[in-house]
Structure 1
Amino acid sequence: MVVALRYSTNGERYDFPPFAGPPPVRYVLASSPRCGSNMLARALWHTGVAGFPEDYLADTYVLDYFERWGFDADDPDGLPAGHVRALMRCRTSPNGVFGIKVHAGHLAALEVDPHELLGAPRYIHMVRRDRLRQAISYTVAEQTGVWIVDGTHLPTGRASSTPRYDHDGIRRHLRLLDRDAATWARYFDRHGITPHVVVYEELLARYEDGVRGCLAFLGVEAPERIPAPGIARQADEATSRWVARFLDEAAPSERNSLLSGGC
């Protein structure tokens, strides 16, 4: 029977060979929407030595794997633990590395803290200096339903092919991103975590160095060649026009704050 999945990357053809036992290296790619985490996640996956970090705890991903496997409601460890245990068998790279991606906005809705669920994993924290471009990208993705361009994910929700400038929407997403940054700061402080920080703009400028730095943090040997991430950047000339328009409409104090962040 062919299973219709929301994301084709959740299918068997993207699995690693079955891995027996708990993976010795586990990590969380801590992120916020439109920070470049999809790029880094795919970059790490394509190395073949860093698992395949995806949003496995998000509802749409859980539903995809429910379609593939079903879950035992009587599992003594509960659904999240059973779900992750099954994922570890097929999404752990042969060298024993398993990763998941978690957005700050999803933390409150999760039944189990990822830190407890994975047993004190390592954390790679993906951030983006340019908050305004991140908020604009967030706004565009919500309007179009296109969150990643790689030929495997279809648009989600009520998509529109032509995004429209939305000052209030951009401002709302700026507030959400500020909230996400505060959420991760509190989370790291609560667990005494010092994450490995990857800055999106620096990853773009020094891609191979950035990926190798993540692999070194995980304690795994990097391949001789670092493959491309296999996804397309979505920023275009319209993004720059929206940046200029928003800054023109912003109060001087807000404009200065955004510009000091790298915009």
Structure 2
Amino acid sequence: MVDKQQPQGPALPQAGGVYDLVDDADYPAWNDRPRRTILLCAHQRTGSSLLGEAMYFAGGMGCPVEYFHGGFRPRFEARWHTSGAAGLLEAAFHHRTDPGGTFATKLFWKDLVGLAGEFEGGDWSGVSALRDGSPDTARLGDLGHMLRIRFPQPRFVHLFRRDTIRQGLSHHAAMETGRWRWWGMKEQPPVAYDFDRILKCVMIARRTRTMWNALFAASDIRPIEIAYEDLLDNYDATLRRLFAALGQPDAVPPPPRLKRQTRPETEAMLQRFHRDLASRAVGGRPDKGDRADET
């Protein structure tokens, strides 16, 4: 196990292996509640792994991973011999609170709603609904209260993507290929174009951002806002601003080891999606069957 008390240079995981921050990032046992919590509030394809790795390798900001996400949660529960939200939370505090007392986690909206059901009981599915175009602020306030109770001294970081259409394209591609992180080891496989699936990803991304913002407003939370585009275009400056806001002004941004998952067909897919979206708006029926790499 790597000594997490000092910032470490990035080391690439083996190609095809399990993401190393799942299996190889436990800190020395922490036998109390964390002194503070960093909640990285995000959605898929916003650069959350890039940002989480930067926080982890810089040191002093925990190890933000999707502990409560369906893709990783079973592995954490098996690794730490626990089950259920309460047990998993206590195990995560024990194994992933850094030597300075900071625990950090990623939270995706869907996983947060699931946690509310486990922690508080009842049906929380309606918390994501809009009534007459507006969110249920009382219910969202209850959700914010739950976070403050369950996560000691929480500091919220809101990571979002301005261009939700590109975010939807990226989400669709990741689901098609099963490749959510890329270290540049292999060529990117082509992705089949599907207007309806891409549109669904775009709408989910927009709704998720709306719900995070509504939660913050309803709970009087002022998050640190980070845009994916700023993280890419101004990596060092964006991270230094974040680190300072999190009380780590001397932390040095590590070189990114994750690569941007660009594909040669992305721009063609983007142009085609805009054409089909315009056609759908005037009653057209876009053809969903072609492959984007053949356009």
With the length of structure 2 as denominator, give the TM-score of the two structures: 0.73
Does the aligned pair in 2 maintain the 1:31–1:127 contact within 8 Å?
yes
In structure 2, the CA distance between the partners of 1:63 and 1:253, relative to structure 1 (3 Å rule), is closer
In structure 2, the CA distance between the partners of 1:237 and 1:19, relative to structure 1 (3 Å rule), is same
The answer to whether the aligner puts 1:217 opposite 2:245 as a matched pair is yes
Paired position in structure 1 for 2:159: 126
Runs of 4+ that moved beyond 4 A: 5-8
Paired position in structure 2 for 1:27: 38
In structure 2, the CA distance between the partners of 1:148 and 1:189, relative to structure 1 (3 Å rule), is same
> What are the residue-to-residue correspondences of 1:13-162 with 2, within 5 Å?
13-71=24-82, 79-110=84-115, 111-112=118-119, 113-150=146-183, 161-162=189-190
Which segment is superposed worse, 37-46 or 58-67? 58-67
In the alignment, the residues of structure 2 paired with residue 64 and residue 207 of structure 1 have an alpha-carbon distance, to the nearest angstrom, of 31
Size of the alignment, in residue pairs?
Answer: 235
Does the aligned pair in 2 maintain the 1:25–1:218 contact within 8 Å?
no
The answer to whether the aligner puts 1:196 opposite 2:250 as a matched pair is no
Letter in 1 for 2:102: V
Deviations 1:168-196 (Å, cap 9, x if unpaired)? 11111111112111211221122211100
RMSD over aligned CA atoms reads 2.5
Paired position in structure 2 for 1:258: none
Q: CA deviation at 1:14?
A: 1.7
Does the aligned pair in 1 maintain the 2:35–2:152 contact within 8 Å?
no
Does the aligned pair in 1 maintain the 2:42–2:106 contact within 8 Å?
yes
> What are the residue-to-residue correspondences of 1:165-176 with 2, within 5 Å?
165-176=193-204
The answer to whether the aligner puts 1:242 opposite 2:269 as a matched pair is yes
Does the aligned pair in 2 maintain the 1:46–1:228 contact within 8 Å?
no
**What are structure 2's unaligned runs of at least 5 residues?**
1-16, 120-145, 282-295
The answer to whether the aligner puts 1:183 opposite 2:211 as a matched pair is yes
Which segment is superposed worse, 14-23 or 121-130? 14-23
Which segment is superposed worse, 113-122 or 137-146? 113-122
Q: CA deviation at 1:64?
A: 1.1
In the alignment, the residues of structure 2 paired with residue 246 and residue 34 of structure 1 have an alpha-carbon distance, to the nearest angstrom, of 18
Q: CA deviation at 1:142?
A: 0.8
Of structures 1 and 2, the larger Rg is shown by 2
Q: CA deviation at 1:61?
A: 2.5
Does the aligned pair in 1 maintain the 2:69–2:108 contact within 8 Å?
no
Which segment is superposed worse, 110-119 or 164-173? 110-119
Q: CA deviation at 1:161?
A: 4.3
In the alignment, the residues of structure 2 paired with residue 129 and residue 91 of structure 1 have an alpha-carbon distance, to the nearest angstrom, of 31
With the length of structure 1 as denominator, give the TM-score of the two structures: 0.81
Q: Which has the higher contact order (CA 8 A, sep 6+)?
A: 1
In the alignment, the residues of structure 2 paired with residue 253 and residue 246 of structure 1 have an alpha-carbon distance, to the nearest angstrom, of 10
Does the aligned pair in 2 maintain the 1:16–1:90 contact within 8 Å?
yes
In structure 2, the CA distance between the partners of 1:182 and 1:18, relative to structure 1 (3 Å rule), is same
In the alignment, the residues of structure 1 paired with residue 73 and residue 276 of structure 2 have an alpha-carbon distance, to the nearest angstrom, of 41
Letter in 2 for 1:58: H
In structure 2, the CA distance between the partners of 1:81 and 1:67, relative to structure 1 (3 Å rule), is same
Q: CA deviation at 1:252?
A: 8.3
Identical amino acids, percent of aligned pairs: 29
Paired position in structure 1 for 2:288: none
Letter in 1 for 2:276: E
Q: CA deviation at 1:101?
A: 0.3
Q: CA deviation at 1:94?
A: 2.0
**What are structure 1's unaligned runs of at least 5 residues?**
74-78, 153-159, 255-263
Letter in 1 for 2:182: V
Does the aligned pair in 1 maintain the 2:21–2:65 contact within 8 Å?
no
In the alignment, the residues of structure 1 paired with residue 184 and residue 269 of structure 2 have an alpha-carbon distance, to the nearest angstrom, of 26
